[in-house]
Amino acid sequence: MSPKSRLYNLVMAWKNKPFRQLRDIEQPYWESPKHEDQFAQATPRNVVDPLAYRGIDFEPIFNRSGSSLKGVLFRPLLSASSSEVLRYCMEGIDAIHYWQCSNRIIPLILPIKVTDLKIAACVDGLCDLILNSRLPIGLINIGFLHHQDIDNELTAAVTKLRRLGVLFHALQFDGNPNTIKLISQFQFEAVHLDVSHLRETSSLSGTQLIDQIHLLKKWSCKTYFSNVTFVRDNELAYQLGIDYCYGSLMLSPVNRHQIIHIQDSRIGKALFSIQTSK
């Protein structure tokens, strides 16, 4: 058999290899639909994010006009338990490698609860994943969830991760003074605001958030709108000078392979562009 034939057989054998899905070390994998059904019956469904079991885990983030892909939010970590954080982070980092091999340099945001960042073993494992990934600085971003008071454990965790070139985002920002202190002390890269809190700009909370948006811009902090659902939400992003938007109006979550095909402004204008009145 010629070397070319052996290579062909090797590639075909790899291509036809049974699919194995990554799970926790104590959980089984499956190689057939029968095993998958048995696993599904034994495992509680994630009621928070029903898309997680279909591999539709990556929510694209665009500039406010929708003409250019600027990043991706990894959704499974939004509802992950402490024991699942490292596994999901590994899957997210693997997706960055996958995009990089396809000539796509796309930053990924890994949402992690502050309580998990206070666990030394979790932070050490995350640092090992980042070091072993050898990815360029700026591709791995950590989004803080469920903000709490700043203490020694959180300070040590942030210091370790910052030394590795990790950028920080404040997710689900609601104007909490502790969150503002956290953003100021650790020089966060960006803040994510739920646009539903700003739809009634005449309310007291909406006015306060708008004032805080202006303050964040003075700190050179990027601003994101999440849950952009209506055209009015995008118009509000223009009015307030919001940098990036994501939500069902821009594009629903997709799998990691589909992210590759969201390429440039031409595709963005054809599929996701939103024309707003200026």
Half-sphere exposure of residue 2: CA atoms within 13 angstroms, side-chain side? 3
Residues paired with residue 263 on neighbouring β-strands, in sequence order: none
The whole-model pTM stands at: 0.76
Residues 68 and 152 reside in one and the same domain: yes
Which is nearest to 94 in space by CA: 79, 83, 80, 110?
Answer: 110
Q: Is 74 helix (H, G, I), strand (E, B) or coil?
A: strand
First CA to last CA distance, the chain = 68
Residue 23: domain span: 1-43
| 233, part of any domain | yes
Q: Is 243 inside any structural domain?
A: yes
Q: At what angle do helices 85-101 and 120-133 cross, to 10 degrees?
A: 10
Q: At what angle do helices 120-133 and 152-163 cross, to 10 degrees?
A: 10
Same domain? 31 vs 128: no
Specify the pLDDT at position 133.
92
Q: d(Cα 164, Cα 38) in Å, to the nearest integer?
A: 41
* Residues with Cβ within 8 Å of residue 249, at least 6 apart in sequence: 228, 229, 230, 231, 233, 234, 274
Task: State how far the Cα of 172 lies from the Cα of 265, in Å rounded to an integer.
Answer: 28
pLDDT of residue 217: 86
What counts of helices (H) and strands (E) characterise the chain?
11, 8
Q: Are residues 89 and 213 in the same domain?
A: yes
In a structure prediction context, what are the per-residue pLDDT tens digits for the chain, which is 278 residues long? 677 777 777 777 766 655 444 444 444 444 445 555 554 555 554 444 555 445 789 999 999 888 889 999 999 999 999 999 999 999 999 999 999 998 999 999 999 999 999 999 999 999 999 999 999 999 999 999 987 777 888 889 999 999 999 999 999 888 888 888 888 888 899 999 999 888 876 565 778 888 888 888 888 899 999 999 888 898 899 999 999 999 988 888 989 998 998 854 344 444 444 444 44
State the DSSP string of 83-141: GGHHHHHHHHHHHHHHHHHTT----EEEEEEHHHHT-HHHHHHHHHHHHHHTPPTTSEE
Residue with tokens 């990027």: 222
CATH of the domain at 199: 3.20.20.450
Task: Flag whether 33 is in a domain.
Answer: yes
15 shares its domain with 100: no
CB 255 within 8 A of CB 59: no
d(CA 108, CA 95): 9
Cβ atoms within 10 Å of 89's Cβ, excluding its own: 25
Q: Does residue 48 form part of some domain?
A: no
